[in-house]
């Protein structure tokens, strides 16, 4: 099996943050978009990660949409701009098709253990354990019920 890798790396013109998308598309199979972002000091493998899964066209469209949004000028808030390719993890194989063993190696270099295990499990490579995929954080739900008196009303 081979996997096509596309990495786009942006840095904010203020010099304090980065945004990265990684598309992994399995030949004849599923696709995955990994969005990683954070402060510039975490660009070499740190930061927060959001993983989206789906068909090649769905994940590619999602990547294009977020990259277009990030590149838009925001007036006094600045904008993200394309930056030179980094020299670690999946950045090293950008634009290439790689094998199962290479995917395992580069994903392990690029992401923390939980994220790399989720990615490898989705594609069934690297002996990753159970499928655990990081999703958007759930909204906070208070454990204590909210008690309202009669003046609250019902609309």
Residue-by-residue DSSP string for 58-98: HHHHHHHHHHHHHHS--GGG--EEE-PPPSSGGGGGTT-EE
The reported pLDDT for the residue numbered 76 is 84
- Taking only the tens place, the pLDDT of each residue in 105-155 is 999 999 999 999 999 999 988 754 334 444 444 444 445 555 555 555 544
The 3-state DSSP class for residue 153 equals coil
State the pLDDT at residue 127: 59
Query: How many domains does the structure of the chain reveal?
Result: 1
For residue 145, tell me if it sits in a domain: no
Burial readout 43-65 (b: 16 or more C-beta within 10 A, e: otherwise): beeebebebbbeebeebbebbee
Residue 151 lies in a domain: no
Cα separation values, 120 from 25, 38, 64, 125, Å: 13, 23, 23, 5
- Mean pLDDT, the chain, integer: 85
Examine residue 10 and state whether it is found in any structural domain, yes or no: yes
Residue 149 lies in a domain: no
- The pTM of the full predicted model, rounded to 2 decimals, is 0.78
CA–CA separation, 138 vs 134, rounded Å?
A: 11
**Which structural domain range is residue 57 located in?**
2-137
């Amino acid at each position: 099996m081979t996997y096509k890798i596309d990495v786009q790396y942006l840095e904010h013109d203020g010099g304090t943050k980065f945004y990265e998308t990684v598309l992994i598309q399995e030949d004849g199979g599923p696709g995955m978009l990994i969005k990683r972002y954070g402060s510039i000091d975490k660009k070499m493998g740190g930061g927060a990660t959001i993983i989206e899964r789906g068909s090649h066209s769905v994940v590619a469209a999602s990547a294009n949409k977020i990259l277009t949004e990030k590149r838009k000028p925001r007036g006094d808030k600045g904008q993200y701009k394309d930056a030179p390719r980094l020299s670690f993890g999946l950045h090293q194989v950008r634009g290439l098709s790689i094998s199962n063993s290479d995917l395992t190696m580069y994903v392990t270099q690029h992401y923390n253990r939980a994220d790399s295990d989720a990615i490898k499990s989705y594609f069934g490579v690297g002996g990753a354990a159970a499928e655990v995929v990081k999703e958007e954080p759930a909204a906070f739900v208070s454990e204590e019920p909210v008690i309202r008196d009669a003046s609250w009303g019902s609309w």
